[in-house]
Every structure is written in structure tokens, then in C-alpha cells.
Amino acid sequence: MEIKILGTGCPKCKALEQNTREALQELGIIADIEKVQDINKIMEYDIMFTPGLVVNGEVKVAGKVVSKDEIKEILQEYV
């Protein structure tokens, strides 16, 4: 599983990354997590606001921090 956290390093971006890491750990999923901070690369995902969560190339969340439980629901689609 490939996961990307889109954001420039703001507190919301860091919170989304932390929630994602915790969700992965609780589900026992091993995934590659990449932080995408380059604004030009973020724009390639066609999101208006960060943070963003991309799972296997598909934007799942944009413009908000979602809870660990919400991320777990998203990730379970790919298990």
C-alpha cells in the first residue's frame, strides 16, 4: 500500500500524518508513507486545500484532518 500525505508541513498536515501512522499500526498494515511538500506536486492531485491523504494514487481526503478511526475505515477498503 502506498500512502501520501499532501501538505507543506503545517500543524494540520502533521496531525493527519500522525493519525494515519496510528491507524496503520492499529490495523497491522505495512505501508510506504511519503510526505509531499512541493506545492507543484500537490497541485497535480487537483486538491484546493491541504492536508490531503492519497491512498494508492487516489485522493481520499482533502482540506481537513480526519480522525484515526475515519482513516481506518478508508484503509480497510484496501485490505
Query: CB under 8 Å to 48, separation ≥6 — which residues?
Result: 62, 63
**Does 10 participate in catalysis according to the annotation?**
yes
Q: Which of 3, 6, 13, 36 is catalytic?
A: 13
**Does 13 participate in catalysis according to the annotation?**
yes
**Alpha-carbon gap, residue 7 to 19, rounded angstroms:** 14
Which one-letter DSSP state was computed for residue 78?
T
Q: Which of 1, 2, 10, 69 is catalytic?
A: 10
Q: Helix, strand, coil: what percent of the chain each, to 5?
A: 40, 25, 35
Residues catalogued as catalytic: 10, 13
